[in-house]
Structure 1
Amino acid sequence: MEVHQVRYALAVAEQRSFTAAANLLHVSQSGVSAQVALLERELGVTLFHRTSRGIQITPAGEPVLEQLRRAATELEQVHAVADELNGLLRGTVAVGAVAGLAWPPFFDALQLVHDAHPGLDLTLREGTSALVQEDVAEGRLDLAVVSWPRQPRAGLASWIALNERVTAIVAPDHPWAQRTDIPPAELLDQPVICLTPGTGMRTAYDAMMAAEGLPTPVAWEVTLPTTARALAARGMGVAVLTSSRADPPTDLAHIALLSTHAASALGVVWRDRPRPSAATRAILAALRTHIGVTTEDT
């Protein structure tokens, strides 16, 4: 059994396609198919059913692929230990972030590691806080910068970089622009602009309104905070977003929401079991240096 055969089989299982697996691995589709066939012949187990609709994992293939995943993880740990002993940082570290995060210290941290360790392959994937945390928990990402209203996903180690407030954001000529605060109930009288479900911001808004015993209407449901601010700037409604030093400067008016539940956090999550690789720990250390730590929650 060759290591590359294991990698090919796991890629096919993840992508449910020989072609997609080949594209992911940057090899030919015929090469992937031939090597997986050799692996199946050696193991005496058919791992995949090839059908017109794609690839299906066979019942016998499920436990074999699970064991192959464990073996691949153990092999990665062996390389990580060897690199650490040699003072090297190599391999791939997959970083996640909430979509639209435009916070310079985050990118400064990535640049620091990228420049200091040219042999390290850094990748970045954006998404909603819920999906990004799921990817960290399932091992598809090594760490991520995400937001949460009360606590991050169970089972993940974390620290908080910023404690944020949920605020109403309006155009300078909006009737509320000169107000310093409003009760959340007044949001019911305005078209609310908020992010999509699964984002930390939407979760924080829903949690605040639920705690106040109020419904959570959203007239404009958008993907990015920049879109929400653009709509608010044009008088299309009241954007409900977090307010912190991670936000880009604008001339929009920020109005505090009078609720003890109008809170959210921006922080870092990762898996601490098994122990993160030396490369992942280097990125965590850079993030601590550049974005800081408000409080620990491991």
Structure 2
Amino acid sequence: MELRQLEYFVAVVEEASFTRAAERVHVAQPGISAQIRRLERELGHDLLDRSGRTVTLTDVGAAVLPLARAALASVESARRTVEELAGLVRGVVRVGMVVSCGIVDLPELLSSFHSSHPDVEITLVEANSDALISSLLDGQLDFALVGYAGSEPDGVSVRVLADEPLVAAVAPEDPWYGRESVSLDELLSRGLICLPPGTGLRGALDAACGGRQPRIAFEASAPSMVITLAQCGLGPAILALSMAEGLHAVRIDPSPSSRLAFAWRASGPHSPAARALIRLAENHVTANL
């Protein structure tokens, strides 16, 4: 019994076709057919029913299939372990980031990672923090730059990059221009400009309101648009302090805060490529503290 025979068997089952399986494993169809026949002769039973329009499993084939997949998975795991020990990190690492985050140069971090591990394919998506955390927990992402309020989200590990107070950022013509602080009651009396639910900033605002509903007059998905709307005199923008450049930042009393952090699944398993990126990110945080 050879591993390639198991690979061909699994490919035929998953594709339900010898032709498509041959295309998938880049082997001529007669070669796949011959190897599976050899496997069946060795086992003494047919694994595939070839009598219909599509290829299906026999009862014996159905019993062998999970064992074949487990054998192939074990071999792949062994190969990854050897590559990692040899320093040959390969594979795919899937990264997410919150929209328009200027405080962290994630592209620079990914560029540094690519220079060290050019064989690793990197994918990057933008979304709000709730969606990114959900994707981390589902295994769709390996690593993400997220914002959140309060304690760290369940099921993920984080390295905090920034813990900033939220401010009400206003243009010169706003009644609050020049003030140092406003109370929560005053904040709730105004129509606010803010990011949508699911973002770290909105979560921090909602948490600070303690169950009371803020009045959101304008909602924008990117901080740059929130800033632009405030600069047009349309009301106070709820922003992290570092984002309020070009506006007057008014402290909110009591002061809510929002955290920005690198995040990854707490329990794994992580691919060698994902672990390498996490190590680089942690070193980046340590070097910039």
- TM-score, with structure 1 as normaliser: 0.71
Instruction: Write the deviation string for residues 74-107 of structure 1: whole angstroms up to 9, x where unpaired.
Output: 6664443122122112110001111122234322
The Cα shift of 1:9 comes to 5.4
Write the letter of the residue equivalent to 1:193: I
Instruction: Report the structure number with the largest CA radius of gyration.
Output: 2
Greater relative contact order (CA < 8 Å, ≥ 6 in sequence) = 1
Distance across 2 between alignment mates of 1:223 and 1:170: 19
Tell me what 2:187 maps to. 187
Distance across 2 between alignment mates of 1:43 and 1:204: 54
Write the letter of the residue equivalent to 2:189: D
* Conservation of the 8 A alpha-carbon contact between 1:185 and 1:214: no
Is 1:2 aligned to 2:7, yes or no? yes
Write the letter of the residue equivalent to 1:252: L
* Conservation of the 8 A alpha-carbon contact between 2:165 and 2:258: yes
Tell me what 2:18 maps to. none
SS of the residue corresponding to residue 230 of structure 1 reads helix
Distance across 2 between alignment mates of 1:9 and 1:186: 62
* Conservation of the 8 A alpha-carbon contact between 1:95 and 1:143: yes
Tell me what 2:275 maps to. 281
Instruction: Write the deviation string for residues 247-268 of structure 1: whole angstroms up to 9, x where unpaired.
Output: 4x731111111115x0121112
SS of the residue corresponding to residue 237 of structure 1 reads coil
From 253, 262, 278, the equivalent of 1:258 is: 253
Write the letter of the residue equivalent to 2:204: A
Unaligned runs of 5+ in 1: 11-24, 28-36, 46-59
The Cα shift of 1:185 comes to 1.4
Distance across 2 between alignment mates of 1:165 and 1:191: 20
Tell me what 1:115 maps to. 115
Distance across 1 between alignment mates of 2:71 and 2:236: 52
* Conservation of the 8 A alpha-carbon contact between 2:167 and 2:252: yes
Tell me what 1:139 maps to. 139
* Conservation of the 8 A alpha-carbon contact between 1:166 and 1:240: yes
Percent identity for Structure 1 against Structure 2 = 30
Write the letter of the residue equivalent to 1:242: A
What is the CA RMSD across the aligned residues, in angstroms?
3.5
Instruction: Write the deviation string for residues 98-131 of structure 1: whole angstroms up to 9, x where unpaired.
Output: 1122234322211110122111101111101111
The Cα shift of 1:225 comes to 0.8
Relative to structure 1, is the Cα distance of residues 154 and 104 closer, same or farther in structure 2, using a 3 angstrom cutoff?
closer
Unaligned runs of 5+ in 2: 1-5, 16-23, 27-48
Distance across 2 between alignment mates of 1:80 and 1:258: 52
* Conservation of the 8 A alpha-carbon contact between 1:93 and 1:279: yes
- TM-score, with structure 2 as normaliser: 0.73
Relative to structure 1, is the Cα distance of residues 114 and 102 closer, same or farther in structure 2, using a 3 angstrom cutoff?
same
Distance across 2 between alignment mates of 1:93 and 1:4: 29
Q: Give matches, 1:34-183, under 5 Å.
A: 41=55, 43-44=57-58, 77-183=77-183
Relative to structure 1, is the Cα distance of residues 272 and 187 closer, same or farther in structure 2, using a 3 angstrom cutoff?
closer
Q: Give matches, 1:225-236, under 5 Å.
A: 225-236=223-234
Distance across 2 between alignment mates of 1:142 and 1:294: 23
